[in-house]
A and B are shown apart, each in its own frame.
Chain A
Amino acid sequence: MEFEPVIGLEVHVQLKTKSKLFCSCATEFGAAPNSQVCPVCLGHPGVLPVLNKQALDYAVLCGLALNCSISKFSKFDRKNYFYPDLPKNYQVSQFDKPICGKGKITFLINGNEKTIGITRAHLEEDAGKLVHSETGAESGVDFNRTGIPLLEIVSEPDLRTPEEAYMYLHMIKNIIEYLGVSDCNMEEGSLRCDANVSIRPKGQEKFGTKVEIKNMNSFRNVQKALAYELERQEDEILGGGIIVQETRLWDADKNQTFSMRTKEEAHDYRYFPEPDLVPVKLDENYIKSLENQLPELPFDRMNRFTKEYTLTGYDAQVLTSSREIADYYEECANLTDDYKAVSNWVQSELLREINEKKISIKESKVTPSKLTDMLKLIQKGVISGKIAKIVFHEIMRSGKDAEQIVKEKGLVQISNPDELKNIVEKVIKDNKKIVDDYKGGKEKSFMFLVGQVMKATQGKANPQLVTKMLKEAIG
């Protein structure tokens, strides 16, 4: 029997406001435990919440970017359950009137467009953090994170493979980063993801029993956990078993999901309207004003890049995978016509360098003008592509201009036949057998000869000229 996976993702994104969702405590990451708390976010008796306007604006901005309908009327509800990271033992969330309704996002997967539906996106308060010591009999709770605004983005069960889920997550992160409303840092927990997974026999319309997977702390882990879980479910069914509706935790060390069996886990959240917060009513003008703030989003930008800069879909996708890279690329594209060359240099050398150095593209000393100046030297034949790599790394290191580096290091390309004549002749003389091989039809041998000339000139010889001269000399 062949099975079809059905996957839906719930992504929690921390919104980058200065203060918490319902009180004025700071939201900075990494503060001393319980230093960014107050009676309100600690759930002391008698406290009341007041909604942070910026969080609402950010939520609407995200909703617009995810092509969601924005609710003219939305409200908050209490979600009741007991857990030590939840000070009030209810979470202020949104139940039946989320701020953002149905939407969709589109991304490329293996060169094909895929559109995934968004069910909804709603605002809620984050919970605290449980800290477990290795030895102690107690766990500890840090409430600094409590009350930081979260946007929960729920996808439709439209995802069919772990890879699609991976790409979907990337696109969500990409979009939200473009908006600048979240750090989307999975390690620091500013982006978190839970998955709902089920399988069904191919062709069957009815969904299978779904399992919720939690505790995945990277996009790759999401992909791995889904792959593991799909296989587990298939084995279970083929082995004559049934799938139990449950929550499972991903163990990244063991590469397995584990059942989080707690009989106390009662899924009766008793949602009801939060009486301490009044409804949110949004009018056209407000929504329009936020619409006007939307930047060009990754997918649109990718499509424009393919057209405007005649790039392949793949190249355009990589170059628009973050707003910074895309901005960088476009700045370069304004300074040169050689779009393809810029694309290659950004994707290969530049991205590798900044990833290795763990810096942002803005921090790189290779500014768009420095890069394009260097490319112009290649175009003009002043340096070869090979030499350019040396120049590039020197710019990266010192921040000097390409021209200056070329001058200081004597890296100018040798394009004068007189300067190369002796070297060419010497190479032919020293490699008699190779020359014969070439004459006998072994094309590869010719490249070796070119290489020898390049080596003798420390790579400075103009490769086209060397080819020409070698061919003439061998006859």
Chain B
Amino acid sequence: MSLYSKTAVELIGLLNKKEISSRDIVSSVFQRIEQVDTKINAFIYTDKENALKKADEIDKKRVNAEPLGLLGGVPVVLKSNLCCFTWPVSCASKILKGYNCAYTATSVEKLLREDAVPIGYANMDEFAMGSSCENSAFGVTRNPWNTDCIPGGSSGGSAAAVAADETILALGSDTGGSIRQPASLCGVVGLKPTYGRVSRFGLVAYASSLDQIGTLTKTVADNALLLKVISGHDCSDSTSIDRKVPDYPAYLNNSIKGLKIGIPKEYFVDGMDNEVEESVKKSIKTFEGQGAVPVEISLPHTDYAVACYYIIATAEASANLARFDGIRYGARSPQAENLIDLYEKTKSDGFGQEVKRRILLGTYVLSSGYYEAYYKKAQKVRTLIKNDFDTVFKKVDCILTPTSPTPAFKIGEKTNDPLKMYLSDIFTISLNLAGLPGISIPGGFTQSGLPIGMQLAGRPFEEEVILNAAYSFEKNTLFHTTKPTLS
């Protein structure tokens, strides 16, 4: 088996036994990228030269028996909205053309400190706005399981790269499901941590009160390891929480006997794909088989989450994206005659349709006369949604739902119907609104061979609980061992 198809935990084992070098892994991964990425288009940017250099440095350290970080020599791809000094962070937008990061994100610093090897930037929906990876100035990313289908989004490039073995680990960001939904559609493990668990410093903001950086990996064990590395308090992010980071990998083998798993009845309503529904039911049985106890619960405000989200997220985005004006960095319209012209031309040329749509919507809900009716109202509904979770988490330890109402859909299927597209995040959005951790794990396949994902949500700062449950499920289902053929 090629090195690129292995997990981080496996590779670290081999590295420690000195059977392979970090250069071997990085070379193998780049060989894979060169082989398959023309089909997938998961990458926007790669930095092979520096990756190999970094791998050599780590190998040298290992030879010299110097202390090595937790990810000593393992490749990782970054979503294109994470800053890495001198890299061309683009957010898959034309508007950042020519911009090279002037600093490094805290999460990326942490990766570097633990000797991970960043290999490049993954494709995404422009500024993390989208659920299909179709809104990219760098072309659509294709689903490795069926290249006619979308990989999900917005971290579609990260998810597809992991699924296609073009990387070992990946970072993404999740504002309304942008890690979990593509993880689900690509059959990988994707975790969005509790809001405040991972520093957002260096994550190009979409909706600041909802954004969170998270992990996409081939297995739950890899996910636990990667999460451990990037978590923790950061003085540069006022919203990051000063709280001890648990040793996530150490929790994985705990028994889930007696674990109360809430099944929200509101999530099993019309619009859900039959095969997805079947999968969830099977998953519940699997958990029961391991001693967990399913409990029917109610999250009465579920139906309002999407509406609430699209008001809050777009409002914040309208301010967050105002800075892209071509003056200090990025693309600048050359034909501007005056200042207003410069703003308008730069933005109109630089932003794609979905980004424009959301900026306009966000501007509208904040504008004079509408603030109370839309924005304030949505903030109040956010409180109700959070209260729902507070209530059920008194009764259950975690919540099981499908990650996405449907498996991967065809490229172009929903591009003309934004609202329909927005509804594909219906199961993931609530967790962002409530700030809760959630993980998507492979939960089966459709008849046509597309992955189906299960989502486990946990209490704030209890990532170890959902990781443990996910690990137990993974061990007993082995869905993760099936790989796309990429023919």
Chain A: residues with CB nearer than 8 A to chain B?
Answer: 39, 42-51, 78, 80, 82, 84, 87-90, 141, 264, 268, 270-272, 275-278
Bound Cα distance A264, B239 (Å): 35
List 17 contacting pairs A-B, 8 Å CB cutoff, sorted by A.
A42-B102, A44-B101, A45-B324, A46-B203, A47-B202, A48-B238, A49-B238, A80-B322, A82-B322, A87-B323, A89-B322, A141-B327, A270-B367, A272-B319, A272-B375, A275-B207, A276-B239
B-chain residues with CB within 8 Å of residue A276 when the two chains form the complex = 205, 208, 238-239
Nearest 4 pairs of A and B residues by beta carbon: A89-B322, A270-B366, A275-B208, A275-B209
B-chain residues with CB within 8 Å of residue A49 when the two chains form the complex = 238
A-chain residues with CB within 8 Å of residue B238 when the two chains form the complex = 48-51, 276-278
Bound Cα distance A42, B102 (Å): 11
A-chain residues with CB within 8 Å of residue B327 when the two chains form the complex = 84, 141
A-chain residues with CB within 8 Å of residue B319 when the two chains form the complex = 78, 80, 88-90, 270, 272
**Contact between chains at A46 and B239 (CB < 8 Å):** no
Please report which residues of chain B, range 368-415, place their CB below 8 angstroms from some CB of chain A when the two chains form the complex: 368, 371, 375
Please report which residues of chain B, range 341-367, place their CB below 8 angstroms from some CB of chain A when the two chains form the complex: 343, 363, 366-367
Cβ of B201 under 8 Å from chain A: yes
Cβ of B328 under 8 Å from chain A: yes
**Contact between chains at A268 and B367 (CB < 8 Å):** yes
**Contact between chains at A270 and B371 (CB < 8 Å):** yes
B-chain residues with CB within 8 Å of residue A47 when the two chains form the complex = 103, 201-202
Bound Cα distance A264, B205 (Å): 27
B-chain residues with CB within 8 Å of residue A46 when the two chains form the complex = 81-83, 89, 105, 200-205
* A272-B315 contact, Cβ under 8 Å, with A45-B91, A45-B204: yes
In addition to A42-B328, A88-B322, 17 A-B residue pairs with Cβ atoms within 8 Å of each other are A43-B328, A44-B101, A45-B89, A45-B204, A46-B82, A46-B105, A47-B103, A48-B237, A50-B235, A80-B319, A82-B325, A84-B339, A268-B367, A268-B368, A270-B318, A275-B209, A276-B239
**Contact between chains at B102 and A272 (CB < 8 Å):** no
Cβ of B222 under 8 Å from chain A: no
Interface centre among B82, B105, B328 (most CB of A within 10 A): B328
B-chain residues with CB within 8 Å of residue A89 when the two chains form the complex = 319, 322-323, 325
- Find the A residue at minimum CB distance from B322: A89
**Contact between chains at B102 and A44 (CB < 8 Å):** yes
Q: How far is the CB of A457 from chain B (nearest CB, A)?
A: 74
Q: How far is the CB of B342 from chain A (nearest CB, A)?
A: 9
A-chain residues with CB within 8 Å of residue B366 when the two chains form the complex = 80, 270-272
Which of B323, B340, B367, B375 touches A45 (beta carbons < 8 Å)? B323
B-chain residues with CB within 8 Å of residue A275 when the two chains form the complex = 207-209, 239, 316
Bound Cα distance A264, B371 (Å): 21
**Contact between chains at A48 and B236 (CB < 8 Å):** yes
Q: How far is the CB of B236 from chain A (nearest CB, A)?
A: 6
Bound Cα distance A275, B343 (Å): 25
Bound Cα distance A165, B173 (Å): 53
- Find the B residue at minimum CB distance from A42: B328
**Contact between chains at A50 and B236 (CB < 8 Å):** yes
Cβ of B96 under 8 Å from chain A: yes
Q: How far is the CB of B194 from chain A (nearest CB, A)?
A: 16
Cβ of B251 under 8 Å from chain A: no
Cβ of B329 under 8 Å from chain A: yes
Q: How far is the CB of B70 from chain A (nearest CB, A)?
A: 24
Please report which residues of chain B, range 174-229, place their CB below 8 angstroms from some CB of chain A when the two chains form the complex: 200-205, 207-209
Contact with A along B308-346 (1 / 0, CB 8 A): 000000011011001111011100000000011001000
Bound Cα distance A276, B323 (Å): 15
* A272-B371 contact, Cβ under 8 Å, with A43-B328, A45-B89, A45-B91: yes
A-chain residues with CB within 8 Å of residue B236 when the two chains form the complex = 48, 50
Q: How far is the CB of A395 from chain B (nearest CB, A)?
A: 54
Please report which residues of chain B, range 50-91, place their CB below 8 angstroms from some CB of chain A when the two chains form the complex: 81-83, 89, 91
Which of B200, B322, B325 touches A48 (beta carbons < 8 Å)? B200
**Contact between chains at A39 and B371 (CB < 8 Å):** no
Bound Cα distance A100, B344 (Å): 38
* A45-B96 contact, Cβ under 8 Å, with A87-B328, A270-B371: yes
Which of A39, A80, A264 touches B102 (beta carbons < 8 Å)? A39
Bound Cα distance A268, B200 (Å): 29
Q: How far is the CB of B176 from chain A (nearest CB, A)?
A: 15
B-chain residues with CB within 8 Å of residue A44 when the two chains form the complex = 101-103, 328-329
Bound Cα distance A82, B91 (Å): 22
Q: How far is the CB of A25 from chain B (nearest CB, A)?
A: 13
A-chain residues with CB within 8 Å of residue B103 when the two chains form the complex = 39, 44, 47
B-chain residues with CB within 8 Å of residue A42 when the two chains form the complex = 102, 328
Bound Cα distance A43, B201 (Å): 13
- Find the B residue at minimum CB distance from A90: B319
B-chain residues with CB within 8 Å of residue A268 when the two chains form the complex = 367-368
Q: How far is the CB of B393 from chain A (nearest CB, A)?
A: 23
Bound Cα distance A51, B328 (Å): 23
**Contact between chains at A88 and B367 (CB < 8 Å):** no
Q: How far is the CB of A159 from chain B (nearest CB, A)?
A: 28
Q: How far is the CB of B303 from chain A (nearest CB, A)?
A: 25
Q: How far is the CB of B200 from chain A (nearest CB, A)?
A: 6
**Contact between chains at A264 and B202 (CB < 8 Å):** no
Contact with A along B442-458 (1 / 0, CB 8 A): 00000000000000000
B-chain residues with CB within 8 Å of residue A141 when the two chains form the complex = 327
**Contact between chains at B209 and A43 (CB < 8 Å):** no
A-chain residues with CB within 8 Å of residue B239 when the two chains form the complex = 48, 275-276, 278
B-chain residues with CB within 8 Å of residue A39 when the two chains form the complex = 102-103
- Find the B residue at minimum CB distance from A84: B327
Q: How far is the CB of B173 from chain A (nearest CB, A)?
A: 10
B-chain residues with CB within 8 Å of residue A264 when the two chains form the complex = 340
Bound Cα distance A271, B370 (Å): 12
Q: How far is the CB of B460 from chain A (nearest CB, A)?
A: 16
**Contact between chains at A48 and B201 (CB < 8 Å):** yes
Q: How far is the CB of B31 from chain A (nearest CB, A)?
A: 32
Q: How far is the CB of B17 from chain A (nearest CB, A)?
A: 38
- Find the B residue at minimum CB distance from A269: B368
Bound Cα distance A44, B319 (Å): 14
Bound Cα distance A51, B239 (Å): 12
Q: How far is the CB of A101 from chain B (nearest CB, A)?
A: 22
Bound Cα distance A50, B200 (Å): 13
- Find the A residue at minimum CB distance from B376: A272
- Find the B residue at minimum CB distance from A51: B238
Bound Cα distance A104, B456 (Å): 56
Please report which residues of chain B, range 79-123, place their CB below 8 angstroms from some CB of chain A when the two chains form the complex: 81-83, 89, 91, 96, 99, 101-103, 105
Q: How far is the CB of B426 from chain A (nearest CB, A)?
A: 23
Q: How far is the CB of B82 from chain A (nearest CB, A)?
A: 8
**Contact between chains at A270 and B363 (CB < 8 Å):** yes
* A45-B339 contact, Cβ under 8 Å, with A268-B367, A268-B368: no
Q: How far is the CB of A135 from chain B (nearest CB, A)?
A: 17
B-chain residues with CB within 8 Å of residue A50 when the two chains form the complex = 235-238
Bound Cα distance A276, B200 (Å): 10
- Find the B residue at minimum CB distance from A264: B340
B-chain residues with CB within 8 Å of residue A51 when the two chains form the complex = 238
- Find the B residue at minimum CB distance from A37: B328
Bound Cα distance A141, B339 (Å): 13
A-chain residues with CB within 8 Å of residue B82 when the two chains form the complex = 46
Bound Cα distance A141, B238 (Å): 28
